[in-house]
A and B are shown apart, each in its own frame.
Chain A
Amino acid sequence: MEPIGHEGLGRLLKLEDNLQTPHVVFSHSDLEESKDLESGGTITIGKKFSLPPSPLGLDSEKSPYLQLSENIAVIDNAYSIKPKKLVEIAKEFRLEAGYSRLLYAPAVEPSQMPILAYLGVDVFDDLNVELRSSTGWVLESGEWIKQNKQIEDLFSHNRAELNRWILRIRNAISNGKLRELVELTSLHNPRVSQILHHSTSLLIAKGARVHSIIRSNDLSLNHPAILDFQDRLSNYEPPARDMVLLILPCSARKPYFKSSSHKRFFNALREVDNYLALHVVSVTSPLGLVPRELEFCYPAAHYDIAVTGQWSASEIEMLRSQLAKLNLKQNYTKAIVHAGSSSEIMTKLIKELGIDVVDTRVEKPSSYEGLEILQNIARMSLSDVPLLNTRDRAKGEAVGLAKFQYGDNSNFLVKSEISGRMPYKLRCGDLAAMSPVVGGFGLTLKGGIEYSSQGGPTIIAETFKLIGDLFAVGVKSYEGSWNIGDQVVIKQNDTVTGVGIAKMMPEEMIAMKRGIAVEVRHHA
């Protein structure tokens, strides 16, 4: 098997005979009954594999949860285990099953297949589809409908539709849109939405970080990438002390600084003395607050939302907690709010935190009149603020970004020779440079050496000349941990020979014989 795509804990695997996961087996041709209660029957996925015996007498809520045979792990009762418990079990899926067993969930309803695939289930079956078919229901995009017209051989019809449904799940994984499909199925399915709700922290901790566009809505407030971004903001520090906070609206174009409105803001502001002491933070849903230097970071540059101009109660609560993370009273002297329809609520929230705030009260922030007012207010606010030069500002921005991106392992970047300026030319000596692909600082080979020695995730590869990407078959062992999408360092014979982006989970690289393990960005 060869992993070719991931999202969340779900995986798109290429199997033999041109098969792919998530896969559906058809009971009449692919499943064979067990001979007796103590054996397990067989399942055909290209080849015939034996199934583990069913869990006679066991408590489905106590670990170990999976029944294992040599190639297959079965999660019995996936359709009925309580949502919270199911997520708890999903945490253990790969610990119990490993990466080289396919995870099979028997008798699952089609509507639950996307969420289960998102949590890592590889194989489904048509048992419930057969039951529904025998009662005259027609499968349509994962849902059951009754229709008056008689369909000849309804079961075959529904099996074909189930195949399309599974294909849709596979497609969603390869396009990074599985989350969308899961949200779609969760809308009016309380069980799926509960599972989704409980799985957020698991997905942040272990889910693949695929940089796909987040086309957002209210539900997406719980998107793992968004919660992760918001959470990391609590370790964030602005570029310098005593700056003036400037709240601007978000823009449709990402990153924001490339949008026409933000270019206009910038052109108006740079005519003001000491404008570098203004710290631009954009207000947006569902991310909350995005400081200028983090605009490259995933998912700040990768989302899209239906703009309503209305802030819901949950969004306001989210903004409040994000503002608290910026530590306004300690980090800024005062604040300017120039955010159009969001101005009123932002001004109110900033006031709550006890610093001086000026609302420009402009309805159209990027209009000519609006920009003039912004310019004047900025000029007044900056008049008594200490001067900030380009160099110090760039250094502060680099440190903030490095800490946001690399957390506890960021020291080597913080101490490096920082040069250039935001956005594109900022670099940390010869260790790292801005990269829109990575979404922040991308490590150079030298940076990889430093990162690895600081405890950054390192993959030990077999000895061979590394050209192009690193494949799973060449992985010997690993140190540290990472999620799919994180930067990793490749070591061969104790020397760092490459840096790149992980495409598999740590254990998965060891278990798999095929597939790209690391997309290499630089090699020796």
Chain B
Amino acid sequence: MPEAFVPLTDFVNESKSIPRDHPLDKPVAKWVEEEVLDGEVVEAGVVILRTRGCYWSIKEGCSMCGYFNDTVPGGVSDDMLREQWRKVRPILKGKKYAKIYTSGSFIDPTEVPFDFADEVMSDMSDMGIEKVLIESLPEFVNPKNFAYTNSPKLEIAIGLESSSPVVLDKSVNKRLRWPHFVKVCKLARDNGAEVKAYILLKPPYLSEKEGIEDAVQSAIDAAPHVDKISINPVNVQKNTVVEKLWFRNEWTAPWLWSVVEVLQKCEDLPVRVYSDPTGGGTRRGAHNCHDCNKKVLEALKNHRLGLGDLKGLHCNCKSRWNVLVNQSKLRRNGSEPHGYRSGFTGGRHF
């Protein structure tokens, strides 16, 4: 008999050895989007800096995360980081809200040197930015890592993904422990920062129903410890375990109806729960049938900005979603037949 079962994460490290050729003096991306600040819709400047990237992705990595594709394995020098910063400043000017992402943890001093981070924070404070969002793994949420001399109000986003140890271990492959997460949330809040939690919807291997149940339960568990919760429907990023499963048709991206369902079940939670699906409406992101993708995404956006609710959405594909959800646990994985969302009407629609 063959030995142990082989986890699929084993293959991912292979794709990480593919050399990546990125310009070091340019950020990965920058754009402006609408956000809510103190109950008011404002413009937010969003920036993704190119860095060495997440330490965990170098070691093993999470099954759905393809952000390592944007990183530079050898690291980026301070000079280059400053050059990148010079290029993104214009987009942040005049904004009240800024989101500074790296493809890793902003407060990991080995990824973003503390001195550079301190300069950037002072600069934003001088520009009149009121609140800045950064992301980090829980292990770096230590007050000394964000004890900036002068900074806007800090909001630290932590990828909780799920409160279920089985999902974290087997499906996401993330070494996060629930008690530790609770501890760092308190630590951050005691030190003047807000905490935002990311929760995955339908991580790989899970069926639609398991995905919904897991996201709702995770949100309920996390709500007392955080200030807001973002539901992130898993999307298919390059060179990930998720992409492999998706290519093999063993898992498909969640339905937008599932996103709506999770948000509705979380309505009564004491914190704001919303979703901005990455790649929404495409085959690689959360989607429904091609008739209602736009409509539902628009409703989700209004819900996120507090301009509307999710009631009254309807489409023919919703009954299909219902049938699938009800049987999805029996399918033993996250798959469904090609073309189901559009009722097998043919063509290259999805």
A, B co-complexed? yes
Most buried by A among B8, B166, B327, B330: B330
Q: Decide: A33 and B2 in contact? CB cutoff 8 A.
A: no
- B335 interface hit (Cβ, 8 Å): yes
Of A27, A62, A81, which contacts B5 at CB under 8 A?
A: A62
Q: Decide: B332 and A132 in contact? CB cutoff 8 A.
A: no
CA distance A128 to B324 in the complex (A): 9
B331: nearest residue on chain A (CB-CB)?
Answer: A107
CA distance A130 to B336 in the complex (A): 12
Most buried by A among B164, B205, B320: B205
Of B11, B205, B327, B335, which contacts A80 at CB under 8 A?
A: B335
- A77 interface hit (Cβ, 8 Å): yes
- A467 interface hit (Cβ, 8 Å): no
- B250 interface hit (Cβ, 8 Å): yes
- B171 interface hit (Cβ, 8 Å): yes
Q: Decide: B344 and A56 in contact? CB cutoff 8 A.
A: no
CA distance A520 to B206 in the complex (A): 52
Q: Decide: B331 and A37 in contact? CB cutoff 8 A.
A: no
Say yes or no: A41-B320 contact (C-beta < 8 A), given A56-B166, A57-B8: no
A57: nearest residue on chain B (CB-CB)?
Answer: B170
Say yes or no: A144-B327 contact (C-beta < 8 A), given A58-B5, A59-B6, A59-B11: no
**Which residues of chain A are within 8 angstroms of B320 by Cβ–Cβ distance?**
131, 134-135
Of A41, A80, A137, which contacts B250 at CB under 8 A?
A: A80
- Residues 348-379 of chain A, each 1 if its beta carbon lies under 8 Å from chain B, else 0: 00000000000000000000000000000000
CA distance A60 to B169 in the complex (A): 18
Say yes or no: A54-B343 contact (C-beta < 8 A), given A38-B166, A62-B6, A131-B323: no
Say yes or no: A27-B330 contact (C-beta < 8 A), given A37-B167, A80-B249, A81-B248: yes
Q: Decide: B330 and A106 in contact? CB cutoff 8 A.
A: yes
Say yes or no: A27-B333 contact (C-beta < 8 A), given A38-B166, A64-B5: no
Q: Decide: A109 and B337 in contact? CB cutoff 8 A.
A: yes
Most buried by A among B2, B5, B63, B323: B5
Q: Decide: A76 and B332 in contact? CB cutoff 8 A.
A: yes
Tell me the chain A residues, 90-144 only, with Cβ under 8 Å from chain B. Answer: 95-96, 106-107, 109, 125, 127-128, 130-132, 134-137, 144
**Cβ of A99 to closest chain B Cβ, rounded Å:** 15
**Which residues of chain B are within 8 angstroms of A81 by Cβ–Cβ distance?**
248
Tell me the chain B residues, 190-210 only, with Cβ under 8 Å from chain A. Answer: 205-206, 210
CA distance A76 to B286 in the complex (A): 24
- B329 interface hit (Cβ, 8 Å): yes
**Which residues of chain B are within 8 angstroms of A106 by Cβ–Cβ distance?**
330-332
**Which residues of chain B are within 8 angstroms of A135 by Cβ–Cβ distance?**
320, 340, 343-344
Q: Decide: B343 and A136 in contact? CB cutoff 8 A.
A: yes
CA distance A224 to B9 in the complex (A): 38
- A63 interface hit (Cβ, 8 Å): yes
Task: Report the count of interface residues on B (CB-CB < 8 A).
Answer: 39
CA distance A77 to B248 in the complex (A): 9
- B149 interface hit (Cβ, 8 Å): no
- A203 interface hit (Cβ, 8 Å): no
- B7 interface hit (Cβ, 8 Å): yes
- The main secondary structure of chain A at its interface with chain B is loop
- B1 interface hit (Cβ, 8 Å): yes
Most buried by A among B11, B63, B324, B332: B332
- A419 interface hit (Cβ, 8 Å): no
**Which residues of chain B are within 8 angstroms of A137 by Cβ–Cβ distance?**
344
Most buried by B among A59, A109, A130: A59
Tell me the chain A residues, 28-59 only, with Cβ under 8 Å from chain B. Answer: 31, 33-34, 36-38, 41, 54-59
- A74 interface hit (Cβ, 8 Å): yes
**Which residues of chain B are within 8 angstroms of A79 by Cβ–Cβ distance?**
249, 335
- Residues 226-253 of chain B, each 1 if its beta carbon lies under 8 Å from chain A, else 0: 0000000000000000000000111000
**Cβ of A393 to closest chain B Cβ, rounded Å:** 53
CA distance A136 to B323 in the complex (A): 13
Of A36, A54, A59, which contacts B332 at CB under 8 A?
A: A54
**Which residues of chain B are within 8 angstroms of A63 by Cβ–Cβ distance?**
2, 6
Q: Decide: A107 and B335 in contact? CB cutoff 8 A.
A: yes
Of B1, B11, B167, B205, which contacts A54 at CB under 8 A?
A: B205
**Which residues of chain B are within 8 angstroms of A128 by Cβ–Cβ distance?**
337
**Cβ of A83 to closest chain B Cβ, rounded Å:** 13
CA distance A125 to B330 in the complex (A): 10
**Which residues of chain A are within 8 angstroms of B248 by Cβ–Cβ distance?**
60, 77, 80-82
Of B167, B250, B327, which contacts A77 at CB under 8 A?
A: B250
Tell me the chain B residues, 169-186 only, with Cβ under 8 Å from chain A. Answer: 169-171, 173
**Cβ of B343 to closest chain A Cβ, rounded Å:** 4
Q: Decide: B327 and A127 in contact? CB cutoff 8 A.
A: yes
Say yes or no: A41-B333 contact (C-beta < 8 A), given A59-B7, A80-B250, A134-B320: no
**Cβ of A147 to closest chain B Cβ, rounded Å:** 14
**Which residues of chain B are within 8 angstroms of A64 by Cβ–Cβ distance?**
1-2, 5
Say yes or no: A131-B340 contact (C-beta < 8 A), given A33-B329, A41-B329, A60-B248: yes
**Cβ of B66 to closest chain A Cβ, rounded Å:** 18
CA distance A128 to B248 in the complex (A): 17
- Residues 108-148 of chain B, each 1 if its beta carbon lies under 8 Å from chain A, else 0: 00000000000000000000000000000000000000000
**Which residues of chain B are within 8 angstroms of A55 by Cβ–Cβ distance?**
5, 205, 332-333
CA distance A37 to B6 in the complex (A): 18
- B17 interface hit (Cβ, 8 Å): no
Shortest 6 CB-CB contacts between residues of A and residues of B: A62-B6, A57-B170, A56-B170, A135-B343, A54-B332, A59-B8
The residues of A with any CB-CB pair to B shorter than 8 Å are: 27, 31, 33-34, 36-38, 41, 54-60, 62-64, 74, 76-77, 79-82, 95-96, 106-107, 109, 125, 127-128, 130-132, 134-137, 144
